[in-house]
Structure 1
Amino acid sequence: MCIDVVVFDLDGTLVDHEGAVVRALHDWLPRIGVAPDAVPPLVSTWFATEERHFASWRSGEISFAEQRRRRLRDVLPLIGRSVPDDAELDRIFEDFLHAYERGWRAFDDAIPCLDTLAAHDLRLAVLTNGTQTQQTEKLRRTGLDGYVERVFTAEGLGVAKPRPEVYLRVCAALGVEPSHTLHVGDHPDLDVRAPREVGLQVLHLDRHDTHLESPRISTLRDLPRLLDGQSKIAGTALN
């Protein structure tokens, strides 16, 4: 196995996006009138609307701001709030966003993994579906920015995962062959199947042990040992 660069997904892989959202909702929703005991049932609804409308942005159907507004248009009526105009929706989402930013945390296995890989002179990068400013700031606030050579975003590249060209553009920008690039992430479609189809080596970070894809690991702590040839992972071997 020859790996020149490891490209990591960000949310759900290096940074606990789900945990940050849950913390934000428990902080923000009561401040806009939701009883604390009514927050937990709304969490799954929030994630469902996020997935649906973020996918529309990812495919280029709507703007980044509009996917945020559509999420609020779905959720606000459920908590007895009327849906205001776009300017007010943007202000309301900004309040949620501040709470979300306060909840950013790196997974506890992220820095040990990156530290070990960097010590072995492996080049590291991030490829994330998101905006350049937010995702770069997320890396900075979580202490991960110093480990990565480049941060590639859907906004910056003009194309989002799982479009095939996004992975090839990253490889070209880094000056590496796809076959010498390892893509690591938690989403089976975006981080495993799609990059594999264009020739990258892939590794599914299966934190919840759902056995969706192979090869896979359940913690980033296994990645340095894997690349060093000292451990095995579930499923087929990298090649």
Structure 2
Amino acid sequence: MWNLSRIRAIALDLDDTLWPVWPTIERAEGVLQHWLSEHAPATAAWLSDPQRRRAVREQVHAEFPHLAHDLTFLRRESIRRALAAAGDATELAEPAFEVFFAARQQVALYPDALPALQRLSRRFPVVSLSNGNADLRRIGLDAHFVGTVSAREAGCKKPDPRIFHRAAAVAGVPPEAVVHVGDDFELDVLGALGAGMQAVWVARQPAAPMPAAHAAAVPVCADLTELCKTLGIPLD
């Protein structure tokens, strides 16, 4: 059952919880493509074929299933292989990835995200918990978090209980004192519950109904303003 009195810390997902991720990734890929057109034009032409882009990523993912938690490695290796396939210098993979990575941090927050973060962080220690590779310092949100936990650093990704337990340790509380907040029902909600935490499902888009088995234990919020209300935080 949902128990507000147990909560002493918040673990917070990033992508699609604080900002929409796919527009961010698409913009970053466009910036990368422009950079390649200047520094590795053969690769830019090679990657202009969507089927090639998809195929090289799928090949890398298939060859490195043990690194599925490391999106930075997978992206960099995909770039390196595209450079090699097009006949360009593979040494460009690192600067090319940095161009992509910098653009990936140019997120557009949901309107409710920053005001909610300010309220949440005044009331609870907040730890980011993400399968992605967003950099809160580059984004400019790190002041609202006591720590960050990423799949790459943890060596595993949600819904593995170990990454949730790491977030609890960073917050300095046991898992049962943490509520994890995220948009993905399987990765965030079921993952948190499986790790002994409570969970809040942020369903910004119309979603499938909450399974009856979890209805009494998991609040559903349309945005982070509603999350603050659910956690009893005044909207000043």
SS at 1:221's partner residue? helix
For residues 65 and 122 of structure 1, what CA distance do their matches in structure 2 show?
Answer: 30
SS at 1:165's partner residue? helix
| Unmatched tracts of structure 1, length 5 or more | 231-239
TM-score, length basis structure 2: 0.71
Listed one character per residue, the Cα deviations across residues 16-68 of structure 1 (whole Å, up to 9, x for unaligned) are 33222122234443552679xx98x959x76x948x839x56x4369655411
For residues 87 and 206 of structure 2, what CA distance do their matches in structure 1 show?
Answer: 39
Q: 1:184 aligns to what?
A: 181
Work out whether residues 69 and 131 of structure 2, in 8 Å CA contact, stay in contact via their aligned partners in 1.
Answer: no
Judged with a 3 Å threshold, the aligned counterparts in structure 2 of structure 1 residues 208 and 42 are, in CA distance, closer, same or farther, namely farther
Matches within 5 A, 1:36-55: 42=50, 49=57, 53=61
Matches within 5 A, 1:124-203: 124-130=126-132, 135=134, 138-203=135-200
| Deviation of 1:208 (Å) | 2.1
Q: 1:115 aligns with which of 103, 114, 118?
A: 118
Q: 2:67 aligns with which of 57, 60, 81?
A: 60
For residues 111 and 180 of structure 1, what CA distance do their matches in structure 2 show?
Answer: 24
Judged with a 3 Å threshold, the aligned counterparts in structure 2 of structure 1 residues 106 and 229 are, in CA distance, closer, same or farther, namely closer
Q: 2:215 aligns to what?
A: none
Q: 1:8 aligns to what?
A: 12
| Deviation of 1:73 (Å) | 6.9
TM-score, length basis structure 1: 0.70
Q: 1:93 aligns with which of 97, 113, 119?
A: 97
Work out whether residues 178 and 198 of structure 1, in 8 Å CA contact, stay in contact via their aligned partners in 2.
Answer: yes
For residues 24 and 12 of structure 2, what CA distance do their matches in structure 1 show?
Answer: 19
Q: 2:78 aligns to what?
A: 71
User: Aligned residues: percent identity?
Assistant: 27
Work out whether residues 179 and 201 of structure 1, in 8 Å CA contact, stay in contact via their aligned partners in 2.
Answer: yes
| Deviation of 1:222 (Å) | 0.7
CA RMSD after TM alignment: 3.8
| Unmatched tracts of structure 2, length 5 or more | 211-217
Judged with a 3 Å threshold, the aligned counterparts in structure 2 of structure 1 residues 96 and 193 are, in CA distance, closer, same or farther, namely same
